[in-house]
Structure 1
Amino acid sequence: MKSVKFIYIAILVVFISSCKDEFIETEPQATILEDNYYQSEEQIFRGLIAAYDPLQWTFSEGAWSSSVMLGEIRSDNANAGGDPSDGDQPGWQAIDDFLSSSLTLESQAFWKKGWWGVYRSNLVINNDNISSETVDAFKAEAKFLRAFYHFDMFRTFGPVPIVDHVILEDEYSTIERANLTDLFEFITNDLEEAIPLLQDSKYTGSEAGRVSRTTAQALLGKVYLYWADLANDDPNLFDQAATHLNSVITSGQYQLLDDYHQLFAFGAKNTEESVFEIQFTNAVPGDWGGQEFIDGNMITQLVGIRGLCSDHPEYDAGWGFMLPTESLNAHFLADDQYRRNASITSPADLAAEGCSVDLAEQNTADFDGYFQVKYANYSSYTAPNGGDINLQKDPNQPVIRYADVLLMYAEALVRGNGASGDAMQYIDMVRERAVGPGDNSADFRNTQQLMSQEGLTLLDAIWYERRAEFAIEGDRWFDLVRSGRFENSLFSAQKAGNLDQSRVYLPIPQRDIDNTGGSLTEYPSPDLFN
């Protein structure tokens, strides 16, 4: 096999590992040639684990590649942050200010993570050495992953190439961006083919994090929602989204966690609300020299509270990135403070807990007076097997929660051919939980009251819920882009002045443009969205 610069294909398969305490926990054991591998169900399963692995990558190419950070820092929810010099992590400062370029290391990190995931998924999907129902199920999981990686890359870079096989060097010059329709047809076909072959019930215990049928149905609904939005609000595509999201709801496998504050509490993983969640572990020691081998969630230290007192009862100090904006703080209505307090905090809030913050350590250009706490840098994190503790903190990353399914379903009903009255009951489920634990049926404003008292349309009410419910979880920027609601007025004057609406996506790395002889373009052209 030839070496491939475009998507970093190597002739050796790594991350061949056994299933241990957690499904995604990996321990490189051998270096095995692809030509003599994938000869048994066990080997194909190990290849499947390898395909899951890039989901964990939060740092590579010398840069952070967290979709949570991208979805928040790029949006009006958060600023880049860092040290007071405003020169800390210049790539993220550029992303924050709409000044990133094809030479920005963060673009390379996101690009690498996505295409490694596609490559490893293709190795499982396209293997014909062995046939069985078990192998067919493994291939269905890999098809989900290939669809997810393509969708995630689309959200980051706009329409990207469709890669359904291992790309060889003589194909470089043929690699080009797909148009929106072809790309979304490919993604939805992968998911629709996978769904009947996936396990019906959600995985638990040591296999939590593997995708089941409802996981794929939820992602398929989300993909159709984006497609409908970007295809001039196509009501039929919204109906498709509603159909698949309703399948998740009627499965009866999920429910909202009673206490919103527990969603990101220390040790909270794979709750009854989790539909798709990226798994992290602190069991595998890591060091800065092998970033893609790190199985901890590295952003926890990065986005922890900078300058925090040393004796806070729960948190250690962090490096101060992803600083919430005043815009996000002001978004939470007066009766929505329980949800606000589970998402962000302030020096005054921390002082009430008996802990001060050194404001001189904050990035004054980015600090609006708030810190995020969903990815809190808990002092209880440990590194049981040694290694750098900063690389081994292990909160999972929720990708799709049941609340997301409910709100996406409500949106699909409103924007498709569904009934608005039906949509309200699902919004109300999310609103009732937001007030606090227990039965709050008599203590919250339902959607009808919210609309009447705040002067909102039903779609406005959904947008309010999405921003409040998923604050600091990485969806905000992508919601703004897919719905066409990103505009200069959302941002500071300096940032707004840099917002070029033809460059809302990250640019493809220059080295990959060069490797294809220019067949890849830095940004997608408008005709690709037709």
Structure 2
Amino acid sequence: MKKIIGFSSIVILGMLSACDKKLDQTPISDQTTANFYTQPGDFIQAVNATYNSLLTYPDRQLNLSETRSDNLYAVSDGGVRDWEGINSFHRTIAGNPYVTEAWSGNYTGINRANVLLQKLSEKGESIIADGTLRTRLEAEAKFLRAFYYFDLVRWFGRVPVLDQTVTATEALNIGRSAVSDVYSLIISDLQFAAANLPDAYSTAADKGRATKYAAKGILALVYMTRSGPTYDINGPGLGLNEWGQALTLLNEIIASNKYSFLASYPNIFSYTNENNAEVIFDVQYSTGSNPIVGGTFPWLLAPDAWFQAVGKAVQGGLTIRPISNNLLNSYEAADTRKAFSIQPGFTSSNGVTETRSFFKKYVDLTKVPTNRLDWPINFIVLRYTDILLLKAECILHGAPGTPADVDAIVNQVRARAGLAAITNVTLARLMEERRKEFAAEGSRWHDLVRSGNIESIMTSWIAAEDVQKVMQPFQKNYILYPIPQSELDVKPGLYEQNLGY
């Protein structure tokens, strides 16, 4: 049979497992794509395995978006850390493990989706009698394939488009496609998903699967991202005016009445309130399962010394990734989100006082698992507040709506945070409101790129924040990450490196 590869990463179907805490987690042992798909449950396991590639998504957003942005001044305070080159705009990060994982992790998910789609086409009708289930599985696979490609295009710009399984020899002749071609596949897949996924799932076992509203929300963000400036870098922005298309989708989500605005900000992230009314799509985790399907993102931005200071085992965050003074000072005094999201220093078990602040948003010290790789809290990818604020953004870009509509949305969010109402919200002010609302959720870098203000904001931020004088001057080429060196080495000349590296 043909080998199914993820360009440089081989995908062995027998090693796939489900990521959802409630989805079927039965391992597919000693199987190949030739003999595995023999009953309906095999196809369900295969789509669950495609969700499995989401496991590293939260860590990726914190490492590549949050750390890259003006939210963190993550220079090293001892030893060489992988995040330092990300934070400081080093030109030599093509071999950085975070960058390599962003490529390989997404392509692993894409190939799992492609295998499933191929087998659904070849065997689905003869094995799965339920046509509704067949269509749903196809829609889930296409949603996930689009999701992974959207992540890739935001990090790397032009990437190879693979919409079917290929041989190793074929893969070595597939170069990078234009960003517009990558988007064509993403939009087609998401449109199919939005038309064919259910509004919701009726059984607890299906919690965490993508719905049509998840597809519409991601598609709206795709249109908005495409509408951002190009910066002349072959990046995610194409300068298109698709704010109206995005607004239509956002309004459909709002009008569905499937989701609502929670009155309490901490309750959105509570370990005992998962899958709440704010959640449109999340990455599901569990603790105590075999294979392990827990998360590592809760401790990623918190130092080990803090866990030790409160009587917990070290987790893996190592040294501190301090929150920037710029972000700390941007919070208004009454903003309740600051105390929930940020730990303002601590005294170590050795009596050393740490005055720098760091993110603790996802940490519940009463829920620390025995295994540091096995945190049970879900990671929210898309929530209702985001839908509302994205709607306000579209209106500010000329989509139907009024300044009063924008103010009303922003003031709803501010009121929950304990803040007074404001008027005449501008795009710059909206982005600052988003910055506090979604701090440590991995959206800041993407928001800066989409806003068109990343060059001016990052340049002035580096000048003010880089007291150690270790950061490189910002240039627009750094909006994208380099193509991983491991990919360049597979076949020299197949891919050209992104400019600036």
CA apart distance, 1:176: 2.2
CA apart distance, 1:20: 8.3
Give yes or no for the alignment of 1:223 onto 2:216: no
Q: Which of 259, 269, 278 is matched with 1:273 structurally?
A: 278
Alpha carbons of structure 1 residues 315 and 428: separation in structure 2 relative to 1, 3 Å: farther
184-193 vs 476-485, greater mean Cα deviation:
476-485
Alpha carbons of structure 1 residues 322 and 474: separation in structure 2 relative to 1, 3 Å: farther
The one-letter code matched in structure 2 to 1:85 is G
Secondary structure of the 2:183 match is helix
Q: Which of 238, 241, 247 is matched with 2:246 structurally?
A: 241
2:372 maps to what in 1?
390
2:443 maps to what in 1?
475
- Take 2:441 and 2:412, find their aligned partners in 1: how far apart are those partners? 20
- Take 2:228 and 2:397, find their aligned partners in 1: how far apart are those partners? 9
2:234 maps to what in 1?
none
1:370 maps to what in 2?
357
- Answer whether contact 1:16 1:28 (CA < 8 A) is retained: yes
Q: Which of 92, 98, 105 is matched with 2:97 structurally?
A: 105
Secondary structure of the 1:33 match is coil
- Answer whether contact 1:275 1:400 (CA < 8 A) is retained: yes
Q: Which of 486, 489, 502 is matched with 2:454 structurally?
A: 486
- Take 2:20 and 2:473, find their aligned partners in 1: how far apart are those partners? 47
Q: CA RMSD in A?
A: 2.8
Could you tell me the percent identity over the aligned residues? 28
- Answer whether contact 2:307 2:313 (CA < 8 A) is retained: no
256-265 vs 241-250, greater mean Cα deviation:
256-265
1:71 maps to what in 2?
65
Q: Which of 335, 339, 342 is matched with 2:340 structurally?
A: 342
- Answer whether contact 1:7 1:115 (CA < 8 A) is retained: no
1:92 maps to what in 2?
83
Secondary structure of the 2:365 match is coil
CA apart distance, 1:496: 4.7
CA apart distance, 1:334: 2.8
- Answer whether contact 1:65 1:109 (CA < 8 A) is retained: no
The one-letter code matched in structure 2 to 1:478 is H
- Answer whether contact 1:315 1:377 (CA < 8 A) is retained: no
- Answer whether contact 2:71 2:327 (CA < 8 A) is retained: yes
2:493 maps to what in 1?
518
2:3 maps to what in 1?
2
Alpha carbons of structure 1 residues 307 and 143: separation in structure 2 relative to 1, 3 Å: same
- Take 2:498 and 2:280, find their aligned partners in 1: how far apart are those partners? 32
2:475 maps to what in 1?
500
- Answer whether contact 2:75 2:88 (CA < 8 A) is retained: no
- Answer whether contact 2:7 2:171 (CA < 8 A) is retained: yes
CA apart distance, 1:382: 3.0
- Answer whether contact 2:4 2:166 (CA < 8 A) is retained: no
1:55-108 Cα distance to aligned partner (Å, 9 max, x none) = 0136xxxxx9522232111001013367x4142x3x211111111422222222
The one-letter code matched in structure 2 to 1:509 is P
Secondary structure of the 1:374 match is coil
| Consecutive aligned runs of 4 or more in structure 1 exceeding 6 Å deviation | 313-317
Secondary structure of the 1:502 match is helix
CA apart distance, 1:498: 4.0
Give yes or no for the alignment of 1:465 onto 2:465: no
1:31 maps to what in 2?
30
- Take 2:222 and 2:14, find their aligned partners in 1: how far apart are those partners? 30
- Answer whether contact 1:16 1:30 (CA < 8 A) is retained: no
1:289 maps to what in 2?
none
- Take 1:309 and 1:122, find their aligned partners in 2: how far apart are those partners? 41
Alpha carbons of structure 1 residues 202 and 426: separation in structure 2 relative to 1, 3 Å: farther
Where in structure 2 are there 5+ consecutive unaligned residues? 126-130, 231-236
Alpha carbons of structure 1 residues 265 and 20: separation in structure 2 relative to 1, 3 Å: closer
The one-letter code matched in structure 1 to 2:94 is S
- Take 1:344 and 1:460, find their aligned partners in 2: how far apart are those partners? 23
1:15 maps to what in 2?
16
1:409 maps to what in 2?
391
1:440 maps to what in 2?
none
State TM-score, norm by structure 2. 0.87
Secondary structure of the 1:277 match is strand
CA apart distance, 1:424: 2.5
Alignment length, in residue pairs? 476
The one-letter code matched in structure 1 to 2:442 is G
1:365 maps to what in 2?
none
The one-letter code matched in structure 1 to 2:373 is L
The one-letter code matched in structure 2 to 1:96 is N
2:410 maps to what in 1?
427
CA apart distance, 1:164: 0.5
CA apart distance, 1:327: 1.2
Secondary structure of the 1:276 match is strand
Alpha carbons of structure 1 residues 235 and 263: separation in structure 2 relative to 1, 3 Å: same
